[in-house]
Amino acid sequence: MRATVYDTRHCDLGEGPLWHPERQQFFWFDINGRKLLSRDGDTPLEWQFDEHVSAAGWVDRDTLLIASQTALLRFDIGSGGHEVLCPLEPDNPVTRSNDGRADPFGGFWIGTMGLQLEPGAGTIYRYYRGALEALYPDISISNSICFAPDGKTAYFCDTPKQQIMAQSLDGEGWPEGAPEVLVDLRSEDLRPDGSVVDALGGIWNAQYGSGRVARYLPDGRFDRAIDVPGENTTCPAFGGAGLDQLFITTARQGLATPDSHQGGTFVATPGITGLAEHRVILA
């Protein structure tokens, strides 16, 4: 299976795809371009920020929670206005936000990383009902944050370690016990980037530099892969009216001679439906 072009705008670092279930609208980011992108039918939409922005969750029909370089923001889609909900490493000039996703309990998991890929500079946090708590320190490149359909397991990775981790959760969505390796990609020398879980519990993982998104079963076994024209695949997200489309962001950064596909946003029909993104509960 091969993905096709959804949007031709070139992102230096496309990331954070989100299908808003109430608006039936797709959003994504160009982290290095400091932009939130979307479309109204065939009309392209963009919102410019003054610092890096990377990931979002939906709060209500008109509001997103957006992770920026130094804060979690409450963003009004209609006006483009935003306000700080919670600082995010505001006094650390080394880091920015990266991968994030809402959890089944109304929380929002967000990871940070070094602006220059500094080893161990980042942390994965959980924002839950107004408070931000650190979960995993010493993270180099936070990625693959997503959740099993039953809400009992979270997944995440530190990309340079080339392993996707599974973390048991308690009844309020907090980590319980130590995380365990679910998918080990070291023997294939693959770099796990963003991930999303489908309705059957399969994990779809974008593999940076490999031009593909691979599906792994809940026990970690490889199932299938979708070829993507963009070499640096960064993150998938399910969307469409039936949640039967898989949107995929990519990046142009680091490519010496990027062609017209690099940094584009793509879509595939994988034959498996996804799950609606969970709502972020602010208080």
Residue 59 · residue 279 · CB < 8 Å: yes
What would the pLDDT profile of 22-33 be if each residue is shown by its tens digit? 999 999 999 999
* Cβ pair 109, 129 in contact under 8 A: no
83-125 per-position pLDDT tens digit: 999 999 999 999 999 999 999 999 999 999 999 999 999 999 9
- The pLDDT, as a whole number, for residue 257 is 86
Q: Residue 92: which of 67, 120, 134, 122 has the closest Cα?
A: 122
Q: Tokens for 214, please give them.
A: 């691979």
Q: What value does the mean pLDDT take over residues 263-268?
A: 98
Measuring CA to CA, which residue among 14, 8, 9, 3 is closest to residue 253?
Answer: 14
* CATH superfamily membership of 4-268: TolB, C-terminal domain (2.120.10.30)
Q: From its phi and psi, is residue 170 left (phi > 0), alpha (psi between -120 and 50) or beta?
A: beta
State the pLDDT confidence band at 58, using cuts at 50, 70 and 90.
very high
Confidence at 71, pLDDT banded by 50, 70, 90 = very high
**Percentage of the chain modeled with pLDDT above 70:** 100
pLDDT in tens, 161-180: 999 999 999 999 999 999 99
Tens digits of per-residue pLDDT, 205-227?
999 999 999 999 999 999 999 99
Contacts of residue 127, defined as CB under 8 A and 6 or more positions apart, other chains included, come to: 65, 72, 85, 86, 107, 108, 109, 110, 133, 280
CA atoms within 13 A on the CB side of 23: 21
Tell me if 76 sits within 8 A of 89, measured CB to CB: no
CB neighbourhood size of 218 (10 A): 15
Q: Is the pLDDT score of 189 beyond 90?
A: yes
Q: What angle do CA 182, 231, 121 make, to 5 degrees?
A: 55
The pLDDT of residue 282: 95
pLDDT reported for residue 55 = 98
Query: Does the structure show a pLDDT above 90 at 283?
Result: no
The letter for the amino acid at 192 is P
Residues marked as catalytic: 193
**pLDDT attached to residue 116:** 97
Could you state, in order of their start, the residue ranges of all structural domains in the chain?
Answer: 4-268
Provide the b/e sequence for 2-33 (b: ≥16 CB within 10 Å): ebeebbebbbbbbbbbbbbbeeebbbbbbbbb
